[in-house]
Amino acid sequence: MHGSFSILPLRAEGLTYNIAGRALVDDISFEIARGTRTIIMGPNGAGKSLTLRLCHGLLKPTLGSVTWNGAAYTEGRKRHAMVFQRPVMLRRSALANLTHALSLTRSSPRDALSRANEALARFGLVELARRPARILSGGEQQRLAMARAWALDPEVLFLDEPTSALDPTATRAVEDMIKAFHADGMTILMTTHDLGQAQRLADEVLFLHRGRILEQTPAKEFFERPRSDAARAFINGELLW
């Protein structure tokens, strides 16, 4: 969808993030290929959210690097977007939340408006357009956050536990959106603690434990024959921390 130029593969090399001398993300390296849906799994506090933030550029690694298609990625307009566990909506209408995000990409107001309307229409959110975004339900807000990310036309989308605060119906709607994004050619890197969700969505699993990568395995294989003991315990619900 982005022609021949791609920012992928995304490569993390020796990625380390320290706070107060403690390595919360500890020397991890992995590669994300174009078009894959990678799910980062691991117990609470494993460093999943930090890893996503490091890749998205919200945090600066203490050591190591995140590179896009070989070059340290410094381009002005981001080609990757992120959806957070709790959607942060501005105090304005649903539509204005989308046009605001688009205006930051230097779209003209006219282009921003038509793209925003396109995104709302694409995901069945047109009725919400004029409603104040912050008084929408949690599920509606998260779908709106997804539509906002989609409107930015990213090549890679990061999602940090996008459904963990949602009810089953909204969760299904968000999962359907993720599938649609992927069908559009987007590369997905997300975290979840929902094993079922991971099985429904993942092409491959990146398993983190205590800030380290224990394995990066195709999804089917991960759930049937995990390589690490920790992953096996995790799948059996025996590894919570």
Partner 1 sequence: MHEDNAFTAAVSLILSGDAVLGEIVRLSLAVSLTALLVSAIIGLPLGAALALARFPGRSFLVVAFNALMGLPPVVAGLMVYLMLSRSGPLGWIGILFTPSAMIVAQSLLITPIIVSLTRQVVEDLWGEYEEQLRSLGSTRLQAIPTLLWDGRFSLITTILAGFGRASAEVGAILIIGGNIAGYTRTMTTAIALETSKGDLALALGLGIILLTITLLLNAAAYATGRIAQKVAG
Q: Are 43 and 208 in contact (CB under 8 A)?
A: no
For residue 186, give both structure tokens. Answer: 């987007």
Q: Nearest distance from residue 229's CB to partner 1, in Å?
A: 35
Q: Is 170 in the site for ligand ADP (CB under 6 A)?
A: no
Q: Nearest distance from residue 178's CB to Mg ion, in Å?
A: 17
Q: Is 38 in the site for Mg ion (CB under 5 A)?
A: no
Which of ligand ADP, Mg ion, partner 1, none lies near 39, with the C-beta cut-off 5 to 8 A by kind? none
User: Toward ligand ADP, which CB reaches closer, 82 or 98?
Assistant: 82
End-to-end CA distance of the chain: 39
Which of Mg ion, partner 1, ligand ADP, none lies near 24, with the C-beta cut-off 5 to 8 A by kind? ligand ADP
3 to 22: interface string for ligand ADP, x by CB under 6 A: ----------------x---
Enumerate residues 6+ apart whose C-beta is below 8 A from 63. Answer: 14, 15, 16, 18, 27
**Residue in the block written with tokens 């993942």:** 202
CA distance 3 to 18: 38
Long-range CB pairs of 119-126 (<8 Å, 24+ gap) are: 119/147, 119/148, 119/150, 119/151, 120/94, 120/95, 120/147, 122/147, 122/150, 123/147, 123/150, 123/177, 123/180, 125/94
Q: Is 142 in the site for Mg ion (CB under 5 A)?
A: no
Q: Is 51 in the site for Mg ion (CB under 5 A)?
A: no
Binders of ligand ADP among 29-58, rule CB under 6 A?
A: 42, 44-50
Enumerate residues 6+ apart whose C-beta is below 8 A from 46. Answer: 208, 209, 210, 211
Q: Is 87 in the site for ligand ADP (CB under 6 A)?
A: no
Interface residue with Mg ion, options 38, 49, 97, 163 (CB under 5 A): 49
Binding site for partner 1 (CB under 8 A): 56, 58, 76-78, 81-82, 84, 88, 90-92, 100-101, 104-105, 132, 134-135, 152
Residue 9: cis peptide before it, omega within 30 degrees of 0: yes
18 to 37: interface string for Mg ion, x by CB under 5 A: --------------------
Interface residue list for ligand ADP (CB under 6 A): 19, 24, 42, 44-50
